Amino acid sequence: MQQSSEDSRICVDIYDDAGIGGGASGASGGLLHPYSPKARLLWRGLECWRECIDLLIFANRAVEARASSSAPQDSFCSFKERIVWKRGIIRPASQKNVDILRENAQSFSESCYLELLDRSAAQYLVPDLCVPLDLAVYMPLAMNIHPKRYLQALFLACNDLADCEEREIYLFKESINSLHQLSEEYDAVVICLGAKVDKLPQLSGKLPLRTCRGVIAKLQLPSGLPGEYDHQRPSILSDAWLAFREPRSVLVGSTWDWSSKDYASSVSEEEASRAMEELMPKASAVYPPIRNWAFVGAQAGLRAMPPLTPYGSLPLLGCVDDIIGESVKCRHWLVGGLGSRGLLYHGLVGKLTAQAVLSSSESVLPSEFTQWKSMSK
């Protein structure tokens, strides 16, 4: 809606059987920053970061407006709970990345700058943090957000924008099992189903994507035990990441099951047990006090992982009319393969796709986002 002209009549219908944030996107850990595990700024990472910040502000304003008004609150989104849990992320160096971290951390974006810390400085931020090589990279402006709450707030903000500009936006909690279900009256169809895109018969087996199921463990510090995690301390990145949300609550992730085709967000006791066996040794190696925290639950999501390119693992964008055998050109568009970086990429790829749809031209998309088509032939 923001990309269209003021006199355009825009109506957007969203079909999502799980509801806003009900899929893998809402089940992520919520750690947001524009850097690779080696502290290198990702391709177009600064642009992605800026778009994310703009959308977070946009979503927060919608929540704040409702919280301060007497209007009835939407049932699926609480306006009393925070979207951004914590600022700051720290990554201790390991034997395999210490030199490259030190080198890459010299170049960064001021809007999400990096600091190199020695062991003493790192443990001042996080007492008991394991810093074996006397080096850690600290991202003071990186964030830990609640992804589901953010996506719901963003949807509310879009509703507000539609009301102000006499546009229309509707959510239908329905499954789309075939593109033939969608009426011909739509001028454009944007397909952003995540890993479920392979369930569409028109695209099944035709995209260079791999699925990977990730399980995230929820831990709590038992009542009565000391060791609360101060709200000013950063979250932690290592072989496992620790996203602290409250002084006694943390998410630990994530597993990588490349053989899975399990789309369910629920986690069985057996799968949760396997996840804990994998995650806890990694988490306790970087933050030993986590051994005192108790497992209270787990959540999971199936990621759609894109192929590796010279620019990194980039989302798949573009018109797919030729792939699905559609005679009407520039009607069906794909946003896929956001993988584990959906929070970072979603703002930029959404903006670019909107521009492409409104102009009925793929030429507005950077070629790096469409080069996957040569891989799928």
pLDDT digit string (tens) for the chain, length 377 residues: 566 656 678 899 999 998 998 888 888 899 999 999 999 999 999 999 999 999 999 999 998 888 777 655 555 555 567 898 889 999 999 999 999 999 999 999 999 999 999 999 999 999 999 999 999 999 999 999 999 999 999 999 999 888 877 789 999 999 999 999 987 889 999 999 999 999 999 999 999 999 999 999 999 999 999 999 999 999 999 999 999 989 999 999 999 999 899 999 999 999 999 999 999 999 999 999 999 999 999 999 999 999 999 999 999 999 999 999 887 788 999 999 999 899 999 999 999 999 999 999 999 999 999 999 987 64
The pLDDT score that the predictor gives to residue 86 is 80
Nearest alpha-carbon partner for 185 in 9, 335, 350, 331: 331
The pLDDT score that the predictor gives to residue 375 is 79
- In the chain the domains, ranked by start, together with CATH numbers, are 25-147 (no CATH), 191-209+306-377 (no CATH), 211-304 (3.30.9.10)
> Which tokens is 126 given?
């996080």
The pLDDT score that the predictor gives to residue 221 is 98
Q: In this structure, are strands 235-236 and 84-92 parallel, antiparallel, or unpaired?
A: parallel
The pLDDT score that the predictor gives to residue 66 is 81
Contact indicator for 286, 240 with CB cutoff of 8 Å? yes
The pLDDT score that the predictor gives to residue 7 is 64
Q: In this structure, are strands 332-336 and 189-191 parallel, antiparallel, or unpaired?
A: parallel
CA dihedral for 66, 71, 74, 75, sign (positive or negative): positive
Residue 216 amino acid letter: I
Strand partners, 334: 191, 318
What contacts 24+ positions apart, CB below 8 Å, involve 245-250? 245/85, 245/86, 245/144, 245/146, 246/85, 247/221, 248/220, 248/221, 248/223, 249/218, 249/219, 249/220, 249/221, 250/218, 250/219, 250/220, 250/290, 250/293
